[in-house]
Amino acid sequence: MGSYAKEELLACVIAGLVGEAAHVAVGAASPIPATACSLLRARGRPLRVSLLHKRKGNPFSDGSRELFDLAGQGRIDVFFLGGAQIDGEANINLVRAEGRRFPGSFGSAFMYFAARRTILFREEHSRRVLVPKVEFVSAPGWSPPGVWRPGGPQALVTGKAVFSWQKDRRRFRLESVHPGHDLDEVRADTGFEFDCPSTVPATIAPTSEEITMLRGSVMREIAASYPEFARRVWPQRSAAA
């Protein structure tokens, strides 16, 4: 199996969560989710991946509203969102925290409702990010009965662990902890309460087959849209490509 980068592990985890989707859309500044989708396609999965900020060959031709129109019709199965803060009810905050301003809500207040599943992804796993209650709700994790909401959170992936979302309990459940981290650390660094099985497995590391794919065709595809990311994760290889 050999060594792998943290980004490679996270891409493999996300690929597993995307699973049997038919159409995944990947938004701005999401190189790891984009890598996960590229990996699924490299494995031969018939997955439509719409990279919204692909520098050439963007998948749409009716302007930037087309993504939202597609999603509103139910044509997007999986989307990715992050947050300056994420809380235990899966609310996300992209606007402001602790006196600091962040870029803004982007399309989250719509996509979190409309995409059939949303995978929350934030590499930093700390009490600063995973808070008891977000300071500002860019998009709510759940909606009361009677509010149109075909979609919602599926899971939360961080640099230390994977949580699933339990819609009926409105709580996260810890599913696995990444190699090199442990349950005590995850508890110490998570600001919200979550359900936890009696034994928590380690996140499955990338296989050698996955690593080969990641460092081959996946890397070349990702470098075209996320050149800085590719240079950072695969410094020798991307320079040679």
Partner 1 sequence: MDRLPANATRFFPDADALAAQIPDGALLAMPPDYSLPAMAVVRALIRRRARRLKLLGVPVLGLCADLLIGAGCVAEVETSAVSLGEAGLAPRFTEAVERGEIVVRDATCPMIHSGLQAAEKGVPFMPLRGVLGSDLVALRPDWKVIDNPMGENDPIILAPAISPDIALFHARWADRAGNVWLGRRRELATIAHAAKATLVSCESVREGDMLEDELLAPGVLASVYVTGVAEAKRGAWPLGVIDEYPIDDAHLAAYAKAARTREGFARYLDEWVLTPRKSFSPA
Site residues, partner 1 (CB under 8 A): 28-29, 53, 55-56, 58, 60-66, 68, 72, 94-95, 99-114, 136-140, 143-144, 146-149, 226-229
Instruction: Give whichever of 27 and 159 is closer to partner 1, judged by the CB atom.
Output: 27
Least gap, CB of 130 to partner 1 (angstroms) = 19
Instruction: Give whichever of 33 and 206 is closer to partner 1, judged by the CB atom.
Output: 33
Instruction: Give whichever of 13 and 95 is closer to partner 1, judged by the CB atom.
Output: 95
Residue 166 falls in which region: left (phi positive, over 0), alpha (psi -120 to 50) or beta: beta
Least gap, CB of 7 to partner 1 (angstroms) = 14
Least gap, CB of 110 to partner 1 (angstroms) = 4
51 strand-pairing partners: 26
Least gap, CB of 40 to partner 1 (angstroms) = 23
* Integer Cα distance of 63 and 113 in angstroms: 21
Least gap, CB of 108 to partner 1 (angstroms) = 7
- Amino acid at the residue 73: Q
Instruction: Give whichever of 38 and 108 is closer to partner 1, judged by the CB atom.
Output: 108
Least gap, CB of 91 to partner 1 (angstroms) = 9
Q: Is 239 exposed, middle or buried (0-12, 13-18, 19+ CB in 10 A)?
A: exposed
Least gap, CB of 205 to partner 1 (angstroms) = 28
Instruction: Give whichever of 180 and 227 is closer to partner 1, judged by the CB atom.
Output: 227
Instruction: Give whichever of 55 and 127 is closer to partner 1, judged by the CB atom.
Output: 55
Instruction: Give whichever of 42 and 84 is closer to partner 1, judged by the CB atom.
Output: 84
